[in-house]
Amino acid sequence: MEGFIQDLSSEFDKIIAERSADERKLFLASEYAASSKFAAKERTPEAKAERVERSENDFFFFDKNYFPPEVHEDFCPPGIFHKEITALTELEDKKAHILIKPRDVASTSNFIKKIIQIILYGKRRQIAVGSETLIPAKKRIVDIIFFLQNSPRIQHDFEITFVQKSKEQIFVRTNKNPRGTYLDALSMERSSRGLANSFSRYGLIFLTDWESTNSSSKKEMRDDRIKMLNEMRGSLGKRGTLIAEGNNFDIDTAQNDMLEEFEKGILNPDFIVHHYAAWDKNRAGRYKSIWFARYPAKSEAEMQKLMGMNDSYDWAGNGQGRPVLKSAHVFPKEFYAEFDWESFPDDLTGAVYVDQNLSKKGKGDTTALAGMFFSPTRKKIFILFPRCKSYAKANDLLKDYLECVNQCNNLGSIQIFGMDGNVAQESSWTNHIDNFEALENVMFPFITFYRLVVDNISTPCSNEWKNGVFLFPPGFSESEEGKTFLKQVFKFVSKKEGSKDDAADLIICLYHILLTENIADYLYNKRERFNYISVSKRNLTKVF
């Protein structure tokens, strides 16, 4: 393999052409560094020896000398944040470190420069860089090759030999690293097993942009990404470490799942989450800004403006690393409300309904059930004892249904006991109920099966939601099932979208039942305020 060096000059041109205008500027800025030579007094043997020796264990001295300001398009000196995250690369704990940080804080370039230092001094025998797909990881390797080959400062101080050089793997030896270091490209799409050198395991795995807006938001796929991280962690040597950095841009990301579990103390102990908000009021002085040299903000609002965040949702996720649910237009989040038990009415009439389904091992698709009751005196609709969870067994679901019925019976009059009757649901669940009655020796209430097309009946329910008619139990939004339930409600657009929408289906179907069974006919027949129907762009017809 000695002497096998692939000519990558055409690859550089190709990668430059593929990059966006902003990326191309950054890449060409690195090309400009080729003219950034040491001054005459810095090229003496004594200066070189001192610089090389000190750079081995002082990364920021190394950074200052081998990556001068002209390498960066908009240079700003590093901050405490950069020093803290760089220290992660020196850990020897065989753990996966999940770094949640804002965008545009130069963390990736910081890690790439650190990897170059590791290669030059042989601090790790086997390294891997990765991302969601393989192409960005290959580009990182080409960037590293470019600096090692073209930086006059690095070339002046180090003797570098490429034993192997391709877009997916390089093997480099230097005068300070005669044994050599391997650098591989990884991705979340393929296993890291068997990729490391036969006689060593990875000492460092660095992942960036391993989760993006193109990643599936389904829980099973998020879990698969975490499993892949753990598989990569398993490829580490005893003194290796894994760093996976990213922007926690959405509530349905693997990063957000791990952050929540970490803060609850239930995350796999082999995973450690490091969360850095762009603005943290608990940090002292100017360090409230994660990088004051670049973002000299004196308030959170100013910080948000300096970072160019689009809106409050962008700021919450890409800025603060704590995304919030962005609701759709059918059930906007701002109209969610809860009732107070102290002023709870005693004139409730309603129905209990379940949009039932079963999932293997109780994972995956959820089932939503609840009681919905109308109060003529309060002129509100109360959602009682809502549930949203996965069921593997029909009997478990039917037990929870009966429990909801019993609890609702204590608070109001149940007129309808309903279930979804689409497709083969009615025959299947009639059998389940018969078996349940025989097994538990109980009488199940008479079930009315409804075959409702949700998209055709959602508009009236959506209108009443926006009128603030619906009330949920106090504290529901803070419970685990409540969060799952409301996430499905707020994000609901239509059945055609194909996302998890059991809770939204439940509310729409229950509301339709209350109307069609004349349980809450007040809502349309005895409205105290006027409704207006648009007949044309100019004329309105008042409907009493």
In a domain, 292, yes or no: no
Q: If you write DSSP's letter for every residue of 274-289 in order, what string do you get?
A: EE--SB-TTS-GGGGB
Q: Phi-psi category of 449—alpha, beta or left, where left has phi over 0 and alpha has psi -120 to 50? A: beta
Do both 142 and 235 map to the same domain?
Answer: yes
Do both 384 and 521 map to the same domain?
Answer: yes
Do both 214 and 356 map to the same domain?
Answer: no
Amino acid in the structure at residue 172: V
Do both 97 and 211 map to the same domain?
Answer: yes
Which of the listed residues 276, 292, 320 is the one where a domain comes to its end?
276
Segment 298-303 shows an average pLDDT of: 94
Range of the domain at 470: 333-525
What whole-number distance in Å separates Cα of residue 507 and Cα of residue 354?
10
DSSP-derived secondary structure letter, 327: -
φ/ψ of residue 367, rounded to 5: -120, 135
φ/ψ of residue 251, rounded to 5: -70, -25
pLDDT mean across residues, the chain: 86
Asked whether the beta carbons of 330 and 504 are under 8 A apart, the reply is: yes
* Digit-coded pLDDT (tens) for 30-80: 554 445 788 899 999 999 999 999 999 999 999 999 998 877 777 889 999
Number of domains present in the structure of the chain: 2
> How would residue 491 be classed by pLDDT, with cut points 50, 70 and 90?
confident
What whole-number distance in Å separates Cα of residue 355 and Cα of residue 125?
56
* E strand or H helix that includes residue 450: strand 448-450
Segment 111-139 shows an average pLDDT of: 95
Tokens at 92, concatenated: 């020897």
φ/ψ of residue 365, rounded to 5: -60, 140
Q: Does residue 507 or residue 20 have the better pLDDT? A: 507
Tokens 């591989």, residue located: 184
Asked whether the beta carbons of 85 and 107 are under 8 A apart, the reply is: yes
Amino acid in the structure at residue 144: I
437-472 CB burial, b ≥16 within 10 A, e <16: eeeeeeebeebeebebebeebbeebbebbeeebbbb
In a domain, 374, yes or no: yes
* E strand or H helix that includes residue 47: helix 45-55
In a domain, 472, yes or no: yes
Specify the CATH number for the domain of residue 94.
3.40.50.300
Do both 469 and 384 map to the same domain?
Answer: yes
Whether this prediction's pTM lies above 0.85 is answered by no
In a domain, 97, yes or no: yes
Do both 128 and 50 map to the same domain?
Answer: yes
* Digit-coded pLDDT (tens) for 174-218: 999 999 999 999 999 877 666 666 567 999 999 999 999 889 888
Do both 62 and 151 map to the same domain?
Answer: yes
Asked whether the beta carbons of 416 and 351 are under 8 A apart, the reply is: yes
Tokens at 214, concatenated: 């193109």
Q: Does residue 24 carry a pLDDT above 60?
A: no
Do both 166 and 17 map to the same domain?
Answer: yes
Asked whether the beta carbons of 167 and 18 are under 8 A apart, the reply is: no
248-260 CB burial, b ≥16 within 10 A, e <16: bbbbbbbbbbbbe
In a domain, 318, yes or no: no
What whole-number distance in Å separates Cα of residue 465 and Cα of residue 476?
17
**Amino acid 329: pLDDT:** 85
What whole-number distance in Å separates Cα of residue 492 and Cα of residue 500?
8
Do both 253 and 370 map to the same domain?
Answer: no
| Cβ partners under 8 Å of residue 530, min gap 6 | 542, 543, 544
Do both 236 and 92 map to the same domain?
Answer: yes
Asked whether the beta carbons of 542 and 532 are under 8 A apart, the reply is: yes
Do both 247 and 376 map to the same domain?
Answer: no
Specify the CATH number for the domain of residue 412.
3.30.420.280
Do both 385 and 261 map to the same domain?
Answer: no
In a domain, 323, yes or no: no
**Amino acid 316: pLDDT:** 93
Residue 207: which of 225, 193, 182, 194 has the closest Cα? Answer: 225
In a domain, 297, yes or no: no
In a domain, 322, yes or no: no
Residue 419: which of 380, 350, 369 has the closest Cα? Answer: 369
